[in-house]
A and B are shown apart, each in its own frame.
Chain A
Amino acid sequence: DVVMTQTPPSLSVAIGQSVSISCKSSQSLVYSDGKTYLHWLLQSPGRSPKRLIYQVSNLGSGVPDRFSGTGSQKDFTLKISRVEAEDLGVYYCAQTTHFPFTFGSGTKLEIK
């Protein structure tokens, strides 16, 4: 199975600051079609997950452009610029390139 390693496990930031979350996979996430199926999700407290970014860098519908995703092969990063209070929660990376699909263990973002 592809292991997704997220760091840090938690972080605390002030409103307006920027933050980055890392996600590293144990195998390349490039599929045979040339696309990379690495996605980012946010689970706000008490809510179901919401997809933020798909295929590394594509912003989901309605997601603020403060969120951005970069990376390739096995190394990916989610950046949140100008953090807002509504950004708190647990961020997960997920891969749908290889079966079984797997998720990172999550990064909990707290607001100072």
Chain B
Amino acid sequence: AVQLVESGGGLVQPKESLKISCAASGFTFSNAAMYWVRQAPGKGLEWVARIRTKPNNYATYYADSVKGRFTISRDDSKSMVYLQMDNLKTEDTAMYYCTAAGSFDYWGQGVMVTVSS
């Protein structure tokens, strides 16, 4: 069965950094585009970042709200995807979901990131 398991969330102060991870299994990870999507408390879904596959040069894309502060990366040898979040703002507080493949085929359980002083 497909599994996506996020980890690394927590409470940080504004302007600090945090790196969250997602471990994938049950599908051919190296063939799948990977995404991060977030959901602020009580709000809807917001796409954050995307990373493509090796044949597509691991191209990355970001929402304007995080461009220049967040970096998505992947390690196909470990079936892992990461989101490095720098210069965090209070408005980045959200549940962060790892999702796989072109049409949000699979979702993890999410990891909570809270940015507060």
Contact = CB atoms under 8 A, between A and B. Distances in A.
A104 B61 CA distance: 20
Contacts, number: 53
B44 interface: yes
Nearest to A60: B105
Q: Is the interface of A mostly helix, strand, loop or mixed?
A: loop
Interface in A50-105: 50-51, 54-55, 60, 92, 94, 96, 99-105
A39 interface: yes
A54 B110 contact: no
B38 to A, nearest CB: 11
A67 to B, nearest CB: 15
Given A51-B103, A100-B64, A101-B50, A92 B108 contact: no
Contact of B44 (A48, A54, A103): A103
- In this complex, the interface size class of chain B, counting residues with CB under 8 Å from chain A, is 20 to 34
B107 A105 contact: no
Interface residues of A, number: 22
A85 to B, nearest CB: 22
Contacts of B44: 92, 103-106
7 contacts: A41-B104, A49-B37, A51-B105, A92-B45, A100-B64, A104-B44, A106-B44
Interface of B: 35, 37, 44-47, 50, 61-64, 97, 102-110
Interface of A: 37, 39, 41, 43, 48-51, 54-55, 60, 92, 94, 96, 99-106
